[in-house]
């Protein structure tokens, strides 16, 4: 006859619940899987599958389920998962902001579509660059690197490791400040070309007053903007690769407990 003790049940529950909380929080906040178009059942099923696969590889835990300590540690696991997902979303937020700035300079600020990544209406250029960033992320096996970082986070921050240091949250906040800088670096070539185009149109309007600058300015700016984006797209791949690598490092910093 098979008998189970309460200690064994508590150990099994802790072995599954704590990893599941972190994994589910990461899936709910990470790019692609956090989209509203990603079914909720698929999110839960993916989290459960990853938990079952990773549970035998994780350190053993001895926590009494239902205690105050276990509840606090469960909240900590959720916060770590959300922070790791937000660290990667910073890159996609920067790309979307770069597209917004480019679209505004091109005169496409009024052309907006629904972006499933941010669950908001964004200019068409922002959605286009967001799709490009998603394709680059998947082509670099970013989803596999994300899972590898998740597995390593359980080694750096086990369930019984204690509270997350304040320096970890500080590093996440500082990484969030990279949104403006990365967006400017990604959009700067196109903005420079459009600035030169606008200056040229301003000179033409002064040199030929009979020229209807409003009639020809928009199509010229639009065409030059699309050509500049086409030329600069190959250069975005190395920049995004560097941003993805930095985001993975920040994810590990957030999930590191000394």
Q: Would you say 186 and 98 are in contact if contact means Cβ atoms under 8 Å apart?
A: yes
Q: Mean of the pLDDT values across residues 176-198?
A: 89
Tokens of 5: 């003790």
Q: How far is the C-alpha of 30 from the C-alpha of 137, rounded, in Å?
A: 12
Q: How far is the C-alpha of 177 from the C-alpha of 179, rounded, in Å?
A: 5
**3-state secondary structure at position 112:** strand
Q: Mean of the pLDDT values across residues 177-205?
A: 87
pLDDT at 177: 85
Estimate to the nearest angstrom the gap between the alpha carbon of 257 and the chain centroid: 22
pLDDT in tens, 53-92: 887 777 666 555 556 777 788 888 888 889 999 999 999 9
Q: Is the pLDDT of residue 252 over 60?
A: yes
Q: How big is the CA angle at 123 (ends 235 and 236), to the nearest 5 degrees? A: 10
pLDDT band of 244, cuts 50, 70, 90:
very high
Q: Would you say 254 and 168 are in contact if contact means Cβ atoms under 8 Å apart?
A: yes
Q: Is the pLDDT of residue 118 over 80?
A: no
* Nearest in space to 96 (alpha carbons), one of 74, 116, 79, 78: 116
Q: Which residues pair with 112 in a beta bridge?
A: 123
Contacts with 47 (C-beta within 8 Å, 6 or more apart), sequence order: 20, 23, 24, 27
Tokens of 91: 């890159």
Contacts with 105 (C-beta within 8 Å, 6 or more apart), sequence order: 190, 191, 194, 195, 221, 225
pLDDT at 60: 61
Lowest mean pLDDT among 26-35, 125-134, 201-210: 201-210
- Give, as one character, the DSSP assignment of residue 116: T
């Amino acid at each position: 006859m098979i008998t189970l003790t309460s200690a064994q049940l508590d150990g099994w529950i802790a072995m599954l619940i704590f990893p599941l909380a972190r994994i589910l929080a990461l899936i709910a906040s990470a790019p692609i899987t956090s989209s509203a178009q990603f079914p909720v059942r698929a999110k839960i099923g993916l989290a459960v599958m990853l938990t079952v696969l990773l549970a035998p590889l994780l350190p053993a835990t001895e926590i009494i389920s239902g205690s105050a300590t276990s509840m606090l540690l469960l909240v900590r696991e959720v916060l770590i998962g959300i922070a790791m997902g937000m660290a990667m979303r910073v890159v996609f937020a920067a790309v979307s902001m770069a597209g917004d700035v480019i679209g505004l300079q091109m005169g496409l600020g009024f052309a907006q579509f629904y972006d499933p990544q941010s669950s908001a209406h964004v200019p068409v250029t922002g959605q286009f660059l967001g799709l490009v960033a998603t394709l680059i992320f998947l082509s670099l096996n970013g989803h596999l690197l994300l899972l590898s970082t998740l597995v390593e986070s359980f080694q750096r921050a086990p369930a019984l490791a204690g509270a997350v240091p304040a320096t970890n949250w500080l590093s996440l906040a500082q990484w969030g400040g990279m949104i403006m800088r990365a967006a400017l670096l990604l959009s700067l070539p196109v903005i420079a070309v459009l600035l030169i185009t606008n200056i040229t149109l301003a000179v033409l309007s002064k040199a030929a007053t009979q020229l209807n600058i409003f009639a020809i300015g928009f199509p010229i700016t639009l065409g030059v903007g699309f050509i500049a984006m086409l030329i600069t797209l190959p250069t975005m791949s190395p920049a995004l690769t560097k941003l993805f690598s930095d985001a993975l490092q920040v994810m590990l910093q957030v999930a590191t407990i000394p």
